[in-house]
Structure 1
């Protein structure tokens, strides 16, 4: 006897085979857009988390900015001791220091996100902190931005040639100098340049951003003065930055020189310069673009020591002054701008890399 086979169980495949519709269907047909949306959502979460950490970190630091402001008012003889309670309460409200820490955080984020308001600046009261930062921002972008771009271009070009012509005298000199000088601090080079060109030769100014006898404005005299005064601090950044990019570009160039496609290109009779620029360099510039984009985000921090040394009115000098006077609003403003610029630079790189290199498929 054989047992009867159990009856087949009917399986409803209608749900499994049902086509995806709506937003999910559109995202499945557009994988790049889906990746961009996911990456932008992650960017917002990272931005919120970083701003939150920065807020609580600086608010938990010891020190009372209100007492610092009152001491300044007392020195200027405009402080009435009889109205001290009312003055302290008013200043705490203006600086967002009334209430508990959670209330301060909610009020701060509301003003920052909805109105772009950082509150008044203690170092230039009652000027808003965002106004103080925006005054210093063009100087930092003009100095460090141009210096960063110039050092990147020079470093990539020289580093690619040094890697391509490895073993030659010029390549050995560039490589050894890069190893020796790439980690030298900017301010040390700045001190040497100041000693040589400002004090010994007397051909370049040592401090400030422009000649005080010239009125700021769009004029050839003012622009020439800005370039002259910014030459030494910019040159100190370019020198060290260029050596760093030379070393990293050469390290990327050397391993790919023995690849088959380069041997094939050489066997076809292509010129060495064309092989270098069209084949070798294109396969090592992608990491450099990524690193350069991230480094551009950090220019908003300013090079504090260089700006202090040359008394340059950038964000670095503003940040140091704010820390000395416990100006939490300005400190947080500079920090928030640095966080925003770095995270935004990383986001743009993540979105642009698949377009620059078809091998990069983050959405797969």
Structure 2
């Protein structure tokens, strides 16, 4: 071997080494999928909160002046004292400085202190505490209604697709097409008119009977169920129609697949073929659709709560907007965005478990 050849071999670069982290993630694709999805979740969360902050700050009006006028009806202030009160509350509510300074202070308090300041509608209670009192009502109403509508709609859609051409299946499909896009609040108005005003069998206001003490008792639970039937019913009925249509649409094209004919030839019971073979192929798109629909369900739920005077996030949000309570409005919006995006993140992480074909995300 010549000296030049030896020098070239020593100076030639060896094979590129794969970074340790990249090699580890390549060996664990599901972990890589989770990390990538969580990073996207953080970006979505930051972007949504930023848009919400600047949107509500652009609403015309001065919340502190509105609050001072309310105080002036009960107390007497001279001009100097009023100006001192205004300056104090601007600083306390995070309204001093330009909008970018307010934004930085908002993100700092949200991330490091988990606090957005006091609420105008219930001063000096912190805004998150005010929202925390309404959150269980919305979670109970929306959570139960959304899950119930999803389960019933999937089952009804599977049966409608499996028994296509039958009278019952065609009636259910036609009814869903006609009523599936009716807004939640419009159906709620119809239910109130029928069951509250015409029949008089269900209440149309509040979440429970105020004459019954709040306790874990059959009387109080029965009152909760009775008062929640109409608002929950409007969400469940519309949700069932929508899930029925989408499930039937996914079910019909796969009924002619060879593996279903093979399962039938093996002598399997039709119900087993439906649940274990046909319906299983609808899980993945429907679970993804459920996460996407949560935002729309939540928006409709806000109007339903306002209609029924239900003490949830929707009622609190409307009250806060009427009084220009930015802290409470942002607290409601922040919690709503967090829950909707977190639910979507959890569903995305569950997809590889529901469908083995989902191994990683690129």
Q: TM-score, normalised by structure 1?
A: 0.92
Cα 1:299–1:16 change in 2 (3 A) is farther
- How many corresponding residue pairs? 359
Cα 1:13–1:186 change in 2 (3 A) is farther
Cα 1:267–1:104 change in 2 (3 A) is same
Tell me the CA shift for residue 9 of structure 1: 9.2
CA distance in 1, matches of 2:330, 2:146: 25
CA contact (8 A) 1:121 1:127 kept: yes
CA distance in 2, matches of 1:28, 1:15: 24
Residue of 52, 62, 67 corresponding to 1:54: 52
Q: What is the CA deviation profile of residues 300-329 of structure 1, one whole-angstrom value per residue up to 9, with x for unaligned ones?
A: 556122112111111111111111111111
Q: Tell me which residue corresponds to 1:171.
A: 169
Q: Tell me which residue corresponds to 1:219.
A: 217
Q: Which runs of 5+ in 1 are unaligned?
A: 1-5
Q: Which stretch of the first structure deviates more once superposed, 86-95 or 116-125?
A: 116-125
Tell me the CA shift for residue 190 of structure 1: 1.6
Q: Tell me which residue corresponds to 1:209.
A: 207
Q: Tell me which residue corresponds to 2:112.
A: 114
CA distance in 2, matches of 1:329, 1:299: 24
CA distance in 1, matches of 2:340, 2:12: 48
Q: Tell me which residue corresponds to 1:195.
A: 193
Q: Which stretch of the first structure deviates more once superposed, 18-27 or 217-226?
A: 18-27
Q: Tell me which residue corresponds to 2:18.
A: 20
Q: Tell me which residue corresponds to 1:3.
A: none
CA contact (8 A) 1:141 1:299 kept: no
Matches within 5 A, 1:265-344: 265-296=263-294, 301=299, 303-344=301-342
Q: Tell me which residue corresponds to 2:37.
A: 39
CA contact (8 A) 1:164 1:253 kept: yes
CA distance in 1, matches of 2:359, 2:20: 24
Tell me the CA shift for residue 23 of structure 1: 2.6
Residue 172 of structure 2 is aligned to residue 161 of structure 1: no
Cα 1:48–1:359 change in 2 (3 A) is same
Q: Tell me which residue corresponds to 1:362.
A: 360
CA contact (8 A) 2:208 2:223 kept: yes
Residue 209 of structure 2 is aligned to residue 244 of structure 1: no
CA contact (8 A) 1:73 1:79 kept: no
CA distance in 1, matches of 2:143, 2:44: 25
Residue of 249, 258, 262 corresponding to 1:264: 262
Cα 1:213–1:13 change in 2 (3 A) is farther
Q: Which stretch of the first structure deviates more once superposed, 313-322 or 184-193?
A: 184-193
CA contact (8 A) 1:117 1:130 kept: yes
CA contact (8 A) 2:283 2:354 kept: no
Q: TM-score, normalised by structure 2?
A: 0.93
CA distance in 2, matches of 1:258, 1:226: 47
Cα 1:165–1:299 change in 2 (3 A) is closer
